[in-house]
Structure 1
Amino acid sequence: MVDGFLLIDKQTGLTSHDVVNSVRRLLGQKRVGHTGTLDPMATGLLIILLGKTTRLAKWMQLADKTYTGTIRLGISTDTLDADGKIVLEEKCHAEIDRIKAAAHSLTGEISQRPPAFSAIKVNGTPAYRIASRGGEVDIALRKVRVSEYEVWVEEAEKIL
């Protein structure tokens, strides 16, 4: 049995469980886990734990994380993400300074309700599976700590 870590660049469309199952098959071992779920549409670092190191998962999940993303202002989708159908599109005249101030107001410990289209489990089933079948998903508010936001504009046309 192999003990240790694998750092995997998870691609969109795969669940974290898909990656774990692939590693199990490739290495021929059962004790494989990860340090935190990435939604299927998310890409990024997925830390895979092998063998005895799977015991560290609960502590590693408490570590600070960094997320990056692209936001297109003036668009709303039915799933609150880039995969959904656009349900509202309007011009957005927000100034970058106002956007930065709004982001800054969301730092510290805040209450957050995860979207229905997320990998958070509801009665053992990922919320996105329930929501994609038209089911009602009620995820409780969660306390999260946001240390900082960085806001930058790569292309002026991204802000309508």
Structure 2
Amino acid sequence: MTDSPGAELGASAQQRPRRPKQPQRKIIRRIVDGVLLLDKPTGMSSNGALQAARRLLNAAKAGHTGTLDPMASGLLPLTFGEATKFSQMLLDADKTYEAVVQLGVETDSGDAEGAVTATSPVALTQADVEKVLARFRGELAQVPPMYSALKRDGKALYEYAREGIELEREPRRVTIHALDLLDFAGDHFTIRVHCSKGTYIRSLAMDMGTALGCGAHLCALRRTVIGAFDLSEAVTLAQLEALGEGDRDGLLAPVDALVAEYPALTLDADATRALLQGRVLSEPRGESGASVRVYGPTGFLGLGRWQDDGRLAARRLIATAPELLVACG
């Protein structure tokens, strides 16, 4: 029996020398320092948005200041370079959201991406909703949703939830500073929520649905404020992509924008040199435990903290590059 043409072709292909693999071209990233206020679109993860912005800026180091679910849109401050050292400041900040709550439908995740678990008729007035909203202002004990990134035994709660496992969760104290009804449309309503860190708007929507007696879930969410940053200052990825590299850099807020809530302290050259070298400063003196923005002749140095004895120690500094010490004499 003779070999088929296909077999001959396969044999000759095996005899051909293999081409050496071409080495992958290494991407050379730039040192970029600053904060980009991004208006994240729906349908994209926070990390996906971060990587897209990082690629457009060609930045060596990048991070974000707290995630938004893919379903959510709005303000997502991104940090680059030295600004990544101060990301925690915004994780701890108050936030404001605009949310649409769908009445009469409950889902396993508490939002529109989950499977429907129950439905109920809705016969509510705007006054009914206003009355219930009043119960959710101030300090609350809120149970985090199972579909969250909180960890239990090293595993995220949402991983248990996807396996059909529901765990008991301890309530956490959160504060709803303001809760306003923006629109009411019979089977859904829109609210503005100004809240403390750690607040889950999905849990708030579910709890309000329970209080109203018909169940509810979160069907849209947009973050508008984090700390001192407002969505009106943010740019979209499309706007960022339409610009040249130099113009993109011009959109970055300086590193110290992340710590603008702290009082500022300017040091002379000698004190700057001492702080950069890790020494504790006897003068000036301040209130024990308080943090302060520290500046020197070269500009922003980082955060300092007053110790119990009133002396100033470094809390978190930007990179102590040799030129900073040289600039101080």
TM-score by length of structure 1 reads: 0.83
After superposition, residues 3-152 of structure 1 pair within 5 angstroms as: 3-122=33-152, 125-152=155-182
Instruction: Go from structure 1 to structure 2 and tell me whether the alpha carbon gap of 1:105 and 1:17 turns closer, same or farther (over 3 Å shift).
Output: same
**Which amino acid letter does the alignment assign opposite residue 86 of structure 2?**
L
The percentage of counterpart residues that share the same residue type is 35
1:67-107 per-residue CA deviation (whole Å, 9 max, x = no partner) reads 11111111111221111222222212222222112112111
Look up the SS of the partner of 1:71 in the other structure.
Answer: strand
- What is the CA-CA distance between 1:148 and the residue it aligns to? 1.2
Cα 1:128/1:42, change in 2 over 3 Å: farther
Distance 2:168 2:114 in 1: 19
- Following TM superposition, the consecutive aligned residue runs of length 4 or more in structure 1 with deviations greater than 4 angstroms are 121-126
Residue 153 of structure 1: aligned partner: 183
1:77/1:34 Cα in 2 relative to 1: closer, same or farther (>3 Å)? same
Q: How many residues align?
A: 160
Whether the aligned pair in 2 keeps the contact of 1:120 and 1:126 (CA below 8 Å) is yes
Between Structure 1 and Structure 2, which shows a larger proportion of strand residues? 2
Q: Quick one: distance in 2 between partners of 1:104 and 1:54?
A: 38
Q: Is the 8 A contact 1:39 1:119 kept in 2?
A: no
Q: Which moved more, 1:109-118 or 1:150-159?
A: 150-159
After superposition, the C-alpha distances for 1:85-130 in whole angstroms (9 at most, x for unaligned) are: 2222221222222211211211112111121123444455543344
- Deviation larger for 8-17 or 66-75: 8-17
In structure 1, the gaps of 5 or more residues are: none
Q: Report the Cα distance in structure 2 between the residues aligned to 1:124 and 1:44, rounded to whole angstroms.
A: 30
Tell me the distance in 1 between the aligned counterparts of 2:158 and 2:70: 9
User: Are 1:31 and 1:50, in contact at CA under 8 Å, matched by a contact in 2?
Assistant: yes
Residues 148 and 129 (structure 1 numbering): CA distance in 2 closer, same or farther, change over 3 Å?
Answer: same
Please name the residue that 2:327 is paired with.
none
TM-score (ref. length: structure 2): 0.44
Query: What are the ranges of 5 or more consecutive residues in structure 2 without an aligned counterpart?
Result: 1-30, 190-213, 215-329
Given that residues 100 and 188 in structure 2 are in contact (C-alpha distance below 8 angstroms), is that contact kept between their aligned partners in structure 1? Answer: no
Deviation larger for 55-64 or 16-25: 16-25
* Partner Cα distance (2:167, 2:47) in 1: 21
Distance 1:125 1:23 in 2: 29
Which structure has the bigger radius of gyration? 2
